[in-house]
Amino acid sequence: KALVQAQNLSKIYGNGPSKVIALDNVNLEIYECEIIAILGPSGSGKTTLLNLLAGLDVPSSGQIIIDGVDITSLSEEEKTKFRAKNMGFIFQFFNLIPVLNAVENVELPMLLNKYSLSEARKRALELLEKLNILHRKDAYPSQLSGGEQQRVSIARALSTRPKIIWADEPTGALDSKNAEQIKQLIIELNKEFGTTFVIVTHDPSVAQIANRIFRMESGQIVEVINKFEK
Ligand code: ADP
Ligand code: ADP
């Protein structure tokens, strides 16, 4: 059964002569426990596709079904709740909250999801330990290196045990050593928790960790590369 399904998905920005067809009738399915890479050159529609699938933006036409729910039929408020409960996010520039320290950043999604304070603290510390960053639990984002910030933000994304984590260029701001660590971490977490990762990247070496690669050009998925049978 598909965890994510997109049917005839299109996104058009603007109108008249300045109109841009960012996504052109895309169909796809993503299954539980997969690592998917959306690979393509700048401007090919990768971020637009990710934002639509995650319910962060609204398609011009088409349907998106996540875990059996047609998210295109939800109100903004319902979508926000659905995201908080079912999805985690990882970004190129980490998007940690600067006035919260590492452990507080990891706790925040849990507190918004009705975990108790003590439960959220316990789980945040466990996740920081798992990601080898527990010794930096009291540090603020500005005091952390890029690689450290990305590990905190992965702990944050995992905190509410989502089935799916969306990652937009997760290694884009990291040096090659840290990028390699983050790739290995994604492989490990996918294995251990069965979390589905959908990773937008223009970097073929990041796409190598995926079991399927959706290659995009000009708003279309022009090729699906199957790395191995699951
Ligand atoms: P990628 O992530 O592959 O670089 P994007 O999804 O960001 O591609 O962009 C796809 C196309 O849509 C590009 O031509 C881009 O200029 C255009 N685009 C993206 N966002 C907007 C926007 N908010 N308004 C107008 N055009 C946009
Ligand atoms: P436990 O049953 O003691 O939680 P698990 O092996 O299920 O042991 O999990 C080990 C660690 O991973 C714990 O911190 C747990 O909360 C966490 N964990 C379990 N499932 C998930 C998941 N789907 N996403 C993120 N973290 C998880």
Q: Residue 229's pLDDT is what?
A: 54
Residue 63 beta carbon below 6 angstroms from any ligand 1 atom: no
Predicted pLDDT at 109: 95
| Cβ(92) – ligand 1 distance below 6 Å | no
Please give the ipTM for the structure prediction. 0.73
pLDDT at 230: 45
**Residue 93 alpha carbon to ligand 1 centre in Å:** 18
What local confidence, expressed as pLDDT, does residue 227 receive? 86
CA nearest to 115, candidates 53, 161, 184:
161
Ligand 2 pocket, mutate which of 192, 195, 196, 197 (most atoms under 8 A from CB): 192
Distance from the alpha carbon of residue 102 to the mean position of ligand 2, in angstroms: 19
Please work out whether the CB of residue 195 comes within 6 Å of at least one atom of ligand 2.
yes
- Tell me the best of 160, 161, 165, 191 to mutate to test the pocket of ligand 2, counting ligand atoms within 8 Å of each CB and taking the most: 161
User: What share of residues in the chain are helix, strand, coil (percent, to 5)?
Assistant: 40, 30, 30
d(CA 83, CA 91): 15
- Listed as ranges, residues in the chain with pLDDT below 70 are 229-230
For residues 172 and 94, the answer to whether their CB atoms sit within 8 Å is: no
Distance 228 CA to ligand 1 centre (A): 31
Q: Are 60 and 24 in contact (CB under 8 A)?
A: no
Ligand index nearest the alpha carbon of residue 196:
2
Q: Which atom of ligand 1 is nearest to the CA of 23?
A: 10
